[in-house]
């Protein structure tokens, strides 16, 4: 039996292809993989093939790992995924751009996105521009002396309507979608010659892009959102 914490299960869905794979986190390799060519546009009326694909593979995976799949990470490659940038520029009266100051402004940007796009769920929140340093790595911005703070964030999101459909589709297997990821974002981050989607997705999910803000719920110790971010990647 393979413990659930030792593997990650991914489902990739696009207009042209479905993939399902299990990634062994201890060995850093793919444990299971199957794909199916798709020929229908991705909408609520064309999920019969995907449903059959899941029927054929969920049981095989659970038999292989000797455990039930409880959670799955859904990678969706869809032209209707929303991709938009939001920026803020503020006078920094405290001079030092502290961790807390960054945290507050990133939360403000996230809330601004949610206010204007209430029908969307954020998949990725990536800092793409910042004037506090010549270095683009967010981790170096915590205590830089600067009169102004300018942050531009790229939001990639999926519609609530589409997530509802996928939630209902996986409900019959008693599987919950733990995270949504954008297929285009994953592929564009890596060299085009890289073809191992499971490894790429695993690396990005676990913090490879240091400018991606990982949205983590506060834990019982009430640690701040940004404190946990730096604990993960610093």
Domains and their CATH numbers in the chain: 4-79+159-205 (3.30.420.40), 82-157+221-233 (3.30.1490)
Alpha-carbon distance 53 to 161, whole Å? 22
Q: Looking at residues 173-186, what average pLDDT do you find?
A: 94
Residues 62-119 have pLDDT tens digits of 999 888 999 999 999 988 899 999 998 877 666 566 777 788 888 999 999 999 999 9
Write phi, then psi, for 48 (nearest 5 degrees).
-65, -45
Q: Which residues of 14-42 are buried (b: 16+ CB within 10 A; e: fewer)?
A: beeebbbbbbbeeeeebbbeeeeebeeeb
Which residues contact residue 189 at a Cβ distance below 8 angstroms, ignoring those fewer than 6 apart? 200, 204, 208, 209
* SS3 at position 213: coil
Residue 202 has pLDDT above 60, yes or no: yes
What percent of the chain stands above pLDDT 90? Answer: 47
Q: Which residues of 108-131 are buried (b: 16+ CB within 10 A; e: fewer)?
A: ebbeebeeebeebebbbbbbeebe
Record the pTM.
0.82
Q: Kind of pairing, strands 7-14 and 71-77?
A: parallel
Alpha-carbon distance 160 to 168, whole Å? 12
Vertex 41: Cα angle to 36 and 43 (nearest 5): 105
Q: What is the per-residue pLDDT for 104?
A: 84
Residues 122-156 have pLDDT tens digits of 999 999 865 444 444 554 444 444 566 788 999 99
Q: Are 10 and 20 in contact (CB under 8 A)?
A: yes
**CA 78 centroid distance within chain:** 14
Give me the half-sphere count of Cα atoms (radius 13 Å) on the Cβ side of residue 149. 26
How many separate helices (H) and strands (E) can be counted in the chain? 6, 10
pLDDT band at 27 (very low <50, low <70, confident <90, very high): confident
């Amino acid at each position: 039996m393979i413990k659930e914490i030792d593997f990650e299960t991914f489902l990739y869905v696009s207009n042209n292809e479905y993939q399902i794979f299990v990634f062994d986190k201890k060995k850093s390799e793919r444990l299971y993989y199957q794909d199916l060519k798709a020929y229908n546009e991705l909408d609520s009326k064309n999920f019969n093939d995907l449903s059959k694909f899941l029927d054929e593979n969920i049981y095989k995976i659970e038999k292989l790992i000797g455990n039930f799949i409880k959670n799955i990470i859904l990678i969706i490659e869809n032209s209707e995924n929303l991709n938009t940038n939001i920026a803020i520029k503020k006078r920094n009266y405290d001079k030092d751009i502290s961790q807390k100051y960054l945290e507050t402004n990133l939360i403000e940007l996230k809330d601004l996105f949610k206010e204007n796009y209430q029908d969307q769920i954020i998949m990725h929140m990536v800092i793409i521009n910042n004037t506090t340093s010549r270095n683009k790595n967010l981790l170096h911005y915590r205590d830089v002396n600067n009169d102004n703070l300018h942050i531009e964030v790229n939001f990639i999101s999926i519609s609530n309507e589409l997530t509802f459909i996928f939630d209902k589709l996986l409900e019959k297997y008693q599987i919950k979608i733990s995270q949504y990821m954008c297929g285009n974002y994953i592929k564009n981050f890596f060299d085009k010659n890289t073809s191992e989607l499971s490894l790429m997705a695993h690396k990005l999910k676990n913090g490879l892009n240091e400018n991606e803000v990982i949205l983590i719920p506060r834990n019982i110790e009430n640690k701040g959102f940004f404190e946990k971010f730096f604990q993960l990647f610093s």
